[in-house]
A and B are shown apart, each in its own frame.
Chain A
Amino acid sequence: MSEKGVQPESKGLAIFLYTLAAVLDPSLPLWRFAIYLVFVTGFCVLFGVPLGRVARRSLFLLPFLGLIIIFGVLPSGDYARGMFLAAKGWLAALGLAALGLSTEFAQLLKGLHRLGLPRVLTMLLSFMYRYLDLLISEAKRMEIARNQRYFGGNYLSQFRILGNIIGNLFLRTYERGERVYQAMVLRGYTGQMQVEKVSYHLLDYLVVSGALLVLLATGVDFLCPFWL
Protein backbone atom coordinates (compact mmCIF):
# COMPACT_ATOMS: atom_id res chain seq x y z
CA MET A 1 0.00 0.00 0.00
CA SER A 2 1.48 3.34 -0.95
CA GLU A 3 1.41 6.52 1.10
CA LYS A 4 -1.94 8.01 1.98
CA GLY A 5 -3.64 4.97 0.48
CA VAL A 6 -3.45 6.24 -3.07
CA GLN A 7 -2.87 3.37 -5.47
CA PRO A 8 0.19 3.55 -7.72
CA GLU A 9 -1.92 3.29 -10.85
CA SER A 10 -3.82 6.44 -9.86
CA LYS A 11 -0.55 8.32 -9.56
CA GLY A 12 0.68 6.84 -12.83
CA LEU A 13 -2.51 7.70 -14.65
CA ALA A 14 -2.52 11.23 -13.25
CA ILE A 15 1.05 11.85 -14.34
CA PHE A 16 0.32 10.32 -17.72
CA LEU A 17 -2.61 12.69 -18.26
CA TYR A 18 -0.59 15.64 -17.03
CA THR A 19 2.30 14.78 -19.34
CA LEU A 20 -0.08 14.36 -22.23
CA ALA A 21 -1.45 17.81 -21.55
CA ALA A 22 1.95 19.44 -21.27
CA VAL A 23 3.35 17.76 -24.36
CA LEU A 24 0.29 18.38 -26.53
CA ASP A 25 -0.04 21.98 -25.46
CA PRO A 26 -0.02 23.92 -28.74
CA SER A 27 0.98 27.34 -27.43
CA LEU A 28 1.88 27.07 -23.74
CA PRO A 29 0.76 30.50 -22.53
CA LEU A 30 2.06 31.56 -19.16
CA TRP A 31 -1.22 30.83 -17.34
CA ARG A 32 -1.17 27.23 -18.45
CA PHE A 33 2.50 26.89 -17.64
CA ALA A 34 1.51 28.01 -14.15
CA ILE A 35 -1.28 25.41 -14.01
CA TYR A 36 1.17 22.65 -14.86
CA LEU A 37 3.61 23.77 -12.21
CA VAL A 38 0.82 24.01 -9.64
CA PHE A 39 -0.28 20.49 -10.51
CA VAL A 40 3.21 19.01 -10.11
CA THR A 41 3.78 20.94 -6.91
CA GLY A 42 0.46 19.80 -5.53
CA PHE A 43 1.28 16.22 -6.49
CA CYS A 44 4.62 16.41 -4.71
CA VAL A 45 3.17 17.99 -1.59
CA LEU A 46 0.38 15.43 -1.46
CA PHE A 47 2.79 12.49 -1.64
CA GLY A 48 5.53 14.03 0.46
CA VAL A 49 8.16 14.28 -2.25
CA PRO A 50 10.70 17.08 -1.68
CA LEU A 51 10.42 19.59 -4.52
CA GLY A 52 14.17 20.13 -4.61
CA ARG A 53 14.77 16.48 -5.41
CA VAL A 54 12.17 16.54 -8.15
CA ALA A 55 13.80 19.61 -9.68
CA ARG A 56 17.23 18.02 -9.48
CA ARG A 57 16.07 14.79 -10.99
CA SER A 58 14.35 16.60 -13.84
CA LEU A 59 17.79 17.80 -14.93
CA PHE A 60 18.35 14.44 -16.63
CA LEU A 61 16.69 16.21 -19.54
CA LEU A 62 19.64 18.57 -20.07
CA PRO A 63 21.58 16.47 -22.59
CA PHE A 64 18.44 16.05 -24.69
CA LEU A 65 17.74 19.77 -24.50
CA GLY A 66 21.29 20.34 -25.71
CA LEU A 67 20.52 18.24 -28.77
CA ILE A 68 17.30 20.15 -29.42
CA ILE A 69 19.18 23.41 -29.23
CA ILE A 70 22.00 22.26 -31.50
CA PHE A 71 19.84 20.70 -34.18
CA GLY A 72 16.51 22.47 -33.81
CA VAL A 73 17.20 25.99 -32.73
CA LEU A 74 20.65 27.09 -33.81
CA PRO A 75 20.17 26.40 -37.54
CA SER A 76 16.88 28.30 -37.74
CA GLY A 77 17.57 30.90 -35.09
CA ASP A 78 14.02 30.49 -33.76
CA TYR A 79 14.75 30.98 -30.06
CA ALA A 80 11.12 31.35 -29.03
CA ARG A 81 10.37 27.93 -30.43
CA GLY A 82 13.42 26.53 -28.65
CA MET A 83 12.16 27.90 -25.34
CA PHE A 84 8.71 26.49 -26.05
CA LEU A 85 10.08 22.99 -26.71
CA ALA A 86 12.43 23.15 -23.74
CA ALA A 87 9.63 24.21 -21.39
CA LYS A 88 7.37 21.39 -22.56
CA GLY A 89 10.15 18.87 -22.21
CA TRP A 90 11.00 20.11 -18.75
CA LEU A 91 7.38 19.90 -17.60
CA ALA A 92 7.22 16.30 -18.75
CA ALA A 93 10.52 15.56 -16.99
CA LEU A 94 9.17 17.10 -13.78
CA GLY A 95 6.13 14.86 -13.93
CA LEU A 96 8.22 11.73 -14.44
CA ALA A 97 10.58 12.71 -11.63
CA ALA A 98 7.66 13.32 -9.29
CA LEU A 99 6.16 9.95 -10.18
CA GLY A 100 9.49 8.18 -9.81
CA LEU A 101 10.14 9.69 -6.41
CA SER A 102 6.64 9.08 -5.07
CA THR A 103 6.11 5.52 -6.26
CA GLU A 104 8.27 2.43 -6.14
CA PHE A 105 8.83 0.94 -9.54
CA ALA A 106 7.59 -2.50 -8.48
CA GLN A 107 4.36 -0.96 -7.16
CA LEU A 108 3.92 1.05 -10.32
CA LEU A 109 4.23 -2.11 -12.42
CA LYS A 110 1.53 -3.81 -10.39
CA GLY A 111 -0.62 -0.74 -10.86
CA LEU A 112 -0.04 -0.71 -14.60
CA HIS A 113 -1.12 -4.32 -14.75
CA ARG A 114 -4.31 -3.50 -12.89
CA LEU A 115 -4.90 -0.73 -15.42
CA GLY A 116 -4.91 -3.38 -18.11
CA LEU A 117 -1.34 -3.39 -19.41
CA PRO A 118 -0.69 -6.96 -20.62
CA ARG A 119 1.13 -9.16 -18.13
CA VAL A 120 3.86 -9.92 -20.67
CA LEU A 121 4.81 -6.25 -20.79
CA THR A 122 4.82 -5.71 -17.04
CA MET A 123 6.86 -8.91 -16.59
CA LEU A 124 9.36 -7.73 -19.20
CA LEU A 125 9.68 -4.39 -17.46
CA SER A 126 10.07 -5.99 -14.07
CA PHE A 127 12.80 -8.33 -15.37
CA MET A 128 14.57 -5.38 -16.91
CA TYR A 129 14.46 -3.59 -13.60
CA ARG A 130 15.57 -6.71 -11.73
CA TYR A 131 18.48 -7.64 -13.98
CA LEU A 132 19.76 -4.27 -15.17
CA ASP A 133 22.19 -3.88 -12.25
CA LEU A 134 23.45 -7.38 -12.78
CA LEU A 135 24.07 -6.72 -16.45
CA ILE A 136 25.89 -3.49 -15.69
CA SER A 137 28.07 -5.07 -13.03
CA GLU A 138 28.85 -7.96 -15.36
CA ALA A 139 29.87 -5.52 -18.09
CA LYS A 140 32.03 -3.64 -15.60
CA ARG A 141 33.77 -6.82 -14.49
CA MET A 142 34.49 -7.71 -18.10
CA GLU A 143 35.87 -4.25 -18.67
CA ILE A 144 38.19 -4.63 -15.68
CA ALA A 145 39.27 -8.05 -16.93
CA ARG A 146 40.02 -6.51 -20.30
CA ASN A 147 41.94 -3.61 -18.83
CA GLN A 148 44.09 -5.98 -16.79
CA ARG A 149 45.38 -7.57 -19.94
CA TYR A 150 45.03 -4.81 -22.48
CA PHE A 151 47.68 -2.17 -23.03
CA GLY A 152 46.32 -0.17 -25.87
CA GLY A 153 46.42 -1.10 -29.48
CA ASN A 154 45.17 0.15 -32.75
CA TYR A 155 41.78 1.63 -33.22
CA LEU A 156 40.33 -1.42 -34.96
CA SER A 157 41.35 -3.92 -32.30
CA GLN A 158 39.48 -1.89 -29.71
CA PHE A 159 36.29 -2.34 -31.68
CA ARG A 160 37.00 -6.02 -32.04
CA ILE A 161 37.32 -6.37 -28.26
CA LEU A 162 34.21 -4.31 -27.66
CA GLY A 163 32.34 -6.53 -30.09
CA ASN A 164 33.47 -9.58 -28.17
CA ILE A 165 32.38 -8.11 -24.87
CA ILE A 166 28.96 -7.18 -26.18
CA GLY A 167 28.54 -10.58 -27.80
CA ASN A 168 29.57 -12.27 -24.59
CA LEU A 169 27.17 -10.19 -22.55
CA PHE A 170 24.41 -11.07 -24.95
CA LEU A 171 25.13 -14.79 -24.64
CA ARG A 172 25.32 -14.63 -20.86
CA THR A 173 22.04 -12.75 -20.73
CA TYR A 174 20.45 -15.22 -23.07
CA GLU A 175 21.61 -18.17 -20.98
CA ARG A 176 20.53 -16.50 -17.78
CA GLY A 177 17.15 -15.92 -19.35
CA GLU A 178 16.90 -19.63 -20.00
CA ARG A 179 17.82 -20.52 -16.41
CA VAL A 180 15.41 -17.97 -15.02
CA TYR A 181 12.68 -19.41 -17.17
CA GLN A 182 13.48 -22.89 -15.85
CA ALA A 183 13.31 -21.57 -12.30
CA MET A 184 9.91 -20.04 -13.10
CA VAL A 185 8.53 -23.18 -14.68
CA LEU A 186 9.73 -25.27 -11.75
CA ARG A 187 7.70 -23.08 -9.46
CA GLY A 188 4.60 -23.64 -11.47
CA TYR A 189 4.64 -20.69 -13.86
CA THR A 190 2.16 -21.17 -16.68
CA GLY A 191 1.92 -17.62 -17.95
CA GLN A 192 -0.97 -16.73 -15.67
CA MET A 193 -0.51 -14.74 -12.53
CA GLN A 194 -2.85 -13.65 -9.84
CA VAL A 195 -3.51 -9.98 -9.53
CA GLU A 196 -4.11 -8.48 -6.15
CA LYS A 197 -7.49 -6.78 -5.94
CA VAL A 198 -7.43 -3.28 -4.52
CA SER A 199 -10.04 -0.68 -3.76
CA TYR A 200 -9.89 2.96 -4.76
CA HIS A 201 -10.68 5.80 -2.40
CA LEU A 202 -11.68 9.41 -2.72
CA LEU A 203 -8.07 10.57 -2.99
CA ASP A 204 -7.43 8.27 -5.97
CA TYR A 205 -10.34 9.85 -7.83
CA LEU A 206 -9.27 13.36 -6.83
CA VAL A 207 -5.72 12.91 -8.09
CA VAL A 208 -6.86 11.55 -11.43
CA SER A 209 -9.61 14.13 -11.87
CA GLY A 210 -7.09 16.86 -11.06
CA ALA A 211 -4.94 15.65 -13.93
CA LEU A 212 -7.99 15.39 -16.13
CA LEU A 213 -8.83 19.03 -15.41
CA VAL A 214 -5.30 20.02 -16.37
CA LEU A 215 -5.72 18.14 -19.63
CA LEU A 216 -9.04 19.90 -20.24
CA ALA A 217 -7.46 23.29 -19.61
CA THR A 218 -4.97 22.48 -22.34
CA GLY A 219 -7.64 21.13 -24.60
CA VAL A 220 -9.67 24.35 -24.42
CA ASP A 221 -7.38 25.91 -26.96
CA PHE A 222 -7.45 23.42 -29.73
CA LEU A 223 -10.40 21.19 -29.02
CA CYS A 224 -13.01 23.96 -28.79
CA PRO A 225 -13.14 24.63 -32.52
CA PHE A 226 -14.25 21.03 -33.04
CA TRP A 227 -16.91 21.10 -30.37
CA LEU A 228 -18.42 24.49 -30.79
Chain B
Amino acid sequence: MPLLAVNQLKYRYPDGREALKGVSFQINAGEKVGLLGLNGAGKSTLLLSIAGVLKAEGEITLAGVENLKARSKLRKQRIGLVFQDPNDQLFMTTVYEDVAFGPENLGLSRPEVEKRVQVALAAVGAEGFEDRLTHHLSFGEKKRVALATVLAMQPDLLLLDEPSSNLDPKRRREFIEIINQAKQAMLIASHDLELIKATCSRVIILEAGKVVVDEPVAILENEALLRRHELY
Protein backbone atom coordinates (compact mmCIF):
# COMPACT_ATOMS: atom_id res chain seq x y z
CA MET B 1 0.00 0.00 0.00
CA PRO B 2 1.43 3.39 -0.97
CA LEU B 3 2.07 6.06 1.67
CA LEU B 4 0.13 8.68 -0.24
CA ALA B 5 -2.44 8.16 -2.94
CA VAL B 6 -3.90 11.11 -4.78
CA ASN B 7 -6.91 10.40 -6.93
CA GLN B 8 -8.56 12.79 -9.40
CA LEU B 9 -7.60 15.91 -7.49
CA LYS B 10 -9.28 19.05 -8.80
CA TYR B 11 -8.90 22.60 -7.65
CA ARG B 12 -10.36 25.83 -8.91
CA TYR B 13 -9.19 29.18 -7.54
CA PRO B 14 -11.85 31.62 -6.36
CA ASP B 15 -11.24 33.68 -9.50
CA GLY B 16 -12.39 30.71 -11.58
CA ARG B 17 -8.97 29.60 -12.83
CA GLU B 18 -8.72 25.83 -12.86
CA ALA B 19 -5.36 24.96 -11.35
CA LEU B 20 -5.68 21.18 -10.97
CA LYS B 21 -7.72 19.19 -13.48
CA GLY B 22 -7.81 15.69 -12.07
CA VAL B 23 -4.36 14.83 -10.76
CA SER B 24 -3.65 11.25 -9.72
CA PHE B 25 -0.45 9.60 -8.50
CA GLN B 26 1.02 7.65 -5.60
CA ILE B 27 4.08 7.91 -3.41
CA ASN B 28 5.55 5.00 -1.45
CA ALA B 29 7.10 5.27 1.98
CA GLY B 30 10.59 6.72 1.81
CA GLU B 31 10.30 7.44 -1.91
CA LYS B 32 11.54 10.78 -3.25
CA VAL B 33 9.60 12.12 -6.20
CA GLY B 34 10.39 15.19 -8.26
CA LEU B 35 7.57 17.45 -9.39
CA LEU B 36 8.36 19.39 -12.54
CA GLY B 37 6.32 21.81 -14.54
CA LEU B 38 6.30 25.31 -15.92
CA ASN B 39 5.37 28.31 -13.82
CA GLY B 40 1.64 28.15 -13.29
CA ALA B 41 1.38 24.43 -14.08
CA GLY B 42 -0.13 23.84 -10.63
CA LYS B 43 2.86 22.57 -8.65
CA SER B 44 2.40 24.82 -5.63
CA THR B 45 -1.38 24.36 -5.72
CA LEU B 46 -0.84 20.61 -5.66
CA LEU B 47 1.48 20.82 -2.66
CA LEU B 48 -0.93 23.11 -0.79
CA SER B 49 -3.82 20.75 -1.55
CA ILE B 50 -1.96 17.69 -0.30
CA ALA B 51 -0.97 19.54 2.85
CA GLY B 52 -4.59 20.49 3.37
CA VAL B 53 -4.22 24.25 3.13
CA LEU B 54 -6.38 24.33 0.02
CA LYS B 55 -9.50 22.21 0.01
CA ALA B 56 -9.35 20.41 -3.32
CA GLU B 57 -11.96 18.07 -4.74
CA GLY B 58 -10.97 14.46 -5.15
CA GLU B 59 -9.43 11.85 -2.96
CA ILE B 60 -6.25 11.96 -0.91
CA THR B 61 -5.40 8.94 1.21
CA LEU B 62 -2.55 8.58 3.61
CA ALA B 63 -1.46 5.14 4.76
CA GLY B 64 -3.07 4.18 8.03
CA VAL B 65 -5.46 7.11 8.16
CA GLU B 66 -9.12 6.74 7.45
CA ASN B 67 -10.99 9.83 6.42
CA LEU B 68 -8.15 12.33 6.08
CA LYS B 69 -9.64 15.62 7.24
CA ALA B 70 -8.22 18.77 5.71
CA ARG B 71 -6.83 20.36 8.82
CA SER B 72 -6.65 17.47 11.24
CA LYS B 73 -3.75 17.31 13.65
CA LEU B 74 -2.69 13.95 12.24
CA ARG B 75 -2.45 15.32 8.74
CA LYS B 76 -0.38 18.25 9.87
CA GLN B 77 1.92 15.99 11.79
CA ARG B 78 2.39 13.41 9.05
CA ILE B 79 2.62 15.72 6.06
CA GLY B 80 5.10 18.59 6.30
CA LEU B 81 5.17 21.44 3.81
CA VAL B 82 8.26 23.61 3.43
CA PHE B 83 7.47 26.91 1.76
CA GLN B 84 9.63 28.33 -0.99
CA ASP B 85 10.35 31.56 0.87
CA PRO B 86 11.85 30.69 4.26
CA ASN B 87 10.66 34.06 5.56
CA ASP B 88 7.13 32.71 5.37
CA GLN B 89 8.14 29.64 7.31
CA LEU B 90 10.16 31.27 10.06
CA PHE B 91 7.83 33.54 11.95
CA MET B 92 9.08 33.27 15.52
CA THR B 93 11.82 35.45 16.91
CA THR B 94 14.45 32.84 17.72
CA VAL B 95 15.43 29.66 15.92
CA TYR B 96 14.60 27.55 18.96
CA GLU B 97 11.10 28.98 19.28
CA ASP B 98 10.48 28.44 15.61
CA VAL B 99 11.62 24.83 15.47
CA ALA B 100 9.81 24.10 18.75
CA PHE B 101 6.58 25.68 17.47
CA GLY B 102 5.26 22.52 15.79
CA PRO B 103 6.21 20.02 18.50
CA GLU B 104 4.74 22.33 21.16
CA ASN B 105 1.47 22.48 19.26
CA LEU B 106 1.50 18.70 19.14
CA GLY B 107 1.38 18.89 22.92
CA LEU B 108 4.71 17.17 23.56
CA SER B 109 6.47 17.49 26.89
CA ARG B 110 9.25 20.05 27.22
CA PRO B 111 12.14 17.55 27.27
CA GLU B 112 10.68 15.86 24.21
CA VAL B 113 10.32 19.22 22.43
CA GLU B 114 13.92 20.06 23.25
CA LYS B 115 15.10 16.73 21.94
CA ARG B 116 13.14 17.15 18.73
CA VAL B 117 14.59 20.61 18.20
CA GLN B 118 18.11 19.34 18.65
CA VAL B 119 17.63 16.37 16.34
CA ALA B 120 15.98 18.52 13.67
CA LEU B 121 18.67 21.20 13.82
CA ALA B 122 21.39 18.54 13.65
CA ALA B 123 19.71 16.98 10.61
CA VAL B 124 20.09 20.24 8.68
CA GLY B 125 23.56 21.04 10.01
CA ALA B 126 22.36 23.90 12.18
CA GLU B 127 23.48 22.72 15.61
CA GLY B 128 23.87 25.51 18.11
CA PHE B 129 21.57 27.91 16.23
CA GLU B 130 18.93 27.77 18.99
CA ASP B 131 19.37 31.27 20.38
CA ARG B 132 19.96 33.05 17.08
CA LEU B 133 17.37 35.52 15.86
CA THR B 134 15.60 34.24 12.76
CA HIS B 135 15.78 37.53 10.94
CA HIS B 136 19.54 37.62 11.37
CA LEU B 137 20.17 34.29 9.62
CA SER B 138 21.63 34.24 6.12
CA PHE B 139 19.34 33.07 3.34
CA GLY B 140 20.95 29.64 3.17
CA GLU B 141 20.66 29.24 6.94
CA LYS B 142 17.02 30.30 6.80
CA LYS B 143 16.33 27.63 4.16
CA ARG B 144 17.91 24.95 6.34
CA VAL B 145 16.19 26.05 9.52
CA ALA B 146 12.87 26.22 7.64
CA LEU B 147 13.33 22.55 6.78
CA ALA B 148 14.17 21.81 10.43
CA THR B 149 10.91 23.40 11.60
CA VAL B 150 9.05 20.76 9.63
CA LEU B 151 11.44 17.88 10.39
CA ALA B 152 10.78 18.49 14.09
CA MET B 153 7.21 17.33 13.53
CA GLN B 154 8.64 13.98 12.35
CA PRO B 155 6.44 13.73 9.26
CA ASP B 156 6.32 10.69 6.96
CA LEU B 157 5.97 12.85 3.88
CA LEU B 158 7.72 16.11 3.13
CA LEU B 159 6.50 18.51 0.48
CA LEU B 160 9.28 20.84 -0.62
CA ASP B 161 8.55 23.88 -2.75
CA GLU B 162 11.62 24.97 -4.70
CA PRO B 163 14.16 23.90 -2.08
CA SER B 164 17.18 25.11 -4.07
CA SER B 165 15.90 28.46 -5.31
CA ASN B 166 18.22 31.37 -4.57
CA LEU B 167 20.86 29.17 -2.98
CA ASP B 168 24.48 29.54 -4.00
CA PRO B 169 26.11 26.40 -5.48
CA LYS B 170 27.71 25.32 -2.23
CA ARG B 171 24.55 25.79 -0.14
CA ARG B 172 22.60 24.06 -2.86
CA ARG B 173 24.92 21.05 -2.75
CA GLU B 174 24.62 20.96 1.05
CA PHE B 175 20.87 21.05 0.73
CA ILE B 176 20.92 18.13 -1.70
CA GLU B 177 22.92 16.14 0.85
CA ILE B 178 20.43 17.00 3.58
CA ILE B 179 17.57 15.81 1.38
CA ASN B 180 19.38 12.58 0.55
CA GLN B 181 20.07 11.84 4.18
CA ALA B 182 16.46 12.31 5.26
CA LYS B 183 14.48 9.08 5.50
CA GLN B 184 11.09 10.61 4.77
CA ALA B 185 9.21 10.30 1.51
CA MET B 186 9.32 13.58 -0.38
CA LEU B 187 7.55 15.36 -3.16
CA ILE B 188 9.92 18.03 -4.41
CA ALA B 189 8.58 20.76 -6.67
CA SER B 190 11.45 22.39 -8.51
CA HIS B 191 12.79 23.79 -11.76
CA ASP B 192 16.21 22.52 -10.81
CA LEU B 193 16.63 19.39 -12.95
CA GLU B 194 20.03 18.61 -11.45
CA LEU B 195 18.59 18.69 -7.95
CA ILE B 196 15.82 16.29 -8.97
CA LYS B 197 18.31 13.95 -10.62
CA ALA B 198 20.51 14.01 -7.54
CA THR B 199 17.73 13.32 -5.05
CA CYS B 200 14.71 11.63 -6.64
CA SER B 201 14.01 8.20 -8.04
CA ARG B 202 10.86 9.20 -9.88
CA VAL B 203 9.59 12.29 -11.59
CA ILE B 204 6.14 13.67 -12.24
CA ILE B 205 5.60 16.38 -14.82
CA LEU B 206 2.56 18.60 -14.45
CA GLU B 207 1.23 20.49 -17.41
CA ALA B 208 -1.73 22.84 -17.13
CA GLY B 209 -3.03 21.06 -14.04
CA LYS B 210 -2.59 17.50 -15.33
CA VAL B 211 0.01 14.79 -14.85
CA VAL B 212 1.58 14.22 -18.27
CA VAL B 213 4.60 12.17 -17.20
CA ASP B 214 5.08 9.83 -14.22
CA GLU B 215 8.29 7.89 -14.82
CA PRO B 216 11.61 6.90 -13.25
CA VAL B 217 14.00 9.82 -13.00
CA ALA B 218 16.15 8.46 -15.85
CA ILE B 219 13.60 9.96 -18.21
CA LEU B 220 15.18 13.35 -17.57
CA GLU B 221 18.07 12.22 -19.79
CA ASN B 222 15.64 12.22 -22.71
CA GLU B 223 16.21 15.63 -24.21
CA ALA B 224 13.45 15.34 -26.76
CA LEU B 225 10.90 14.70 -24.04
CA LEU B 226 12.14 17.65 -22.01
CA ARG B 227 11.88 19.87 -25.06
CA ARG B 228 8.38 18.63 -25.74
CA HIS B 229 7.34 19.68 -22.24
CA GLU B 230 9.27 22.94 -22.47
CA LEU B 231 11.50 21.98 -19.58
CA TYR B 232 14.69 22.38 -21.49
Contacts and interface: CB of A to CB of B under 8 A. Distances in A.
B142 to A, nearest CB: 11
Interface stretch (B3-11, B18-26, B94-102): B94-102
Interface stretch (A23-31, A181-189, A203-211): A181-189
A140 to B, nearest CB: 15
Given A186-B80, A187-B76, A187-B153, A109 B93 contact: yes
Q: Say what secondary structure dominates the interface of chain B.
A: helix
The contact size tier of chain A is 20 to 34
A109 B94 CA distance: 12
A182 B53 contact: yes
Contact of A187 (B85, B134, B150): B150
A134 B135 contact: yes
B204 interface: no
Interface in B88-140: 88-94, 97, 101-102, 104-106, 110, 133-135
A105 B150 CA distance: 25
B77 interface: yes
A109 B97 CA distance: 12
B87 interface: yes
Contacts of B52: 186
A187 B52 CA distance: 12
Contacts of A188: 73, 76-77, 102, 105-106, 153
A176 B92 contact: no
Interface string B194-231: 00000000000000000000000000000000000000
14 contacts: A105-B93, A109-B93, A126-B92, A134-B135, A176-B87, A182-B83, A185-B53, A185-B71, A186-B53, A186-B80, A187-B150, A188-B153, A189-B105, A194-B104
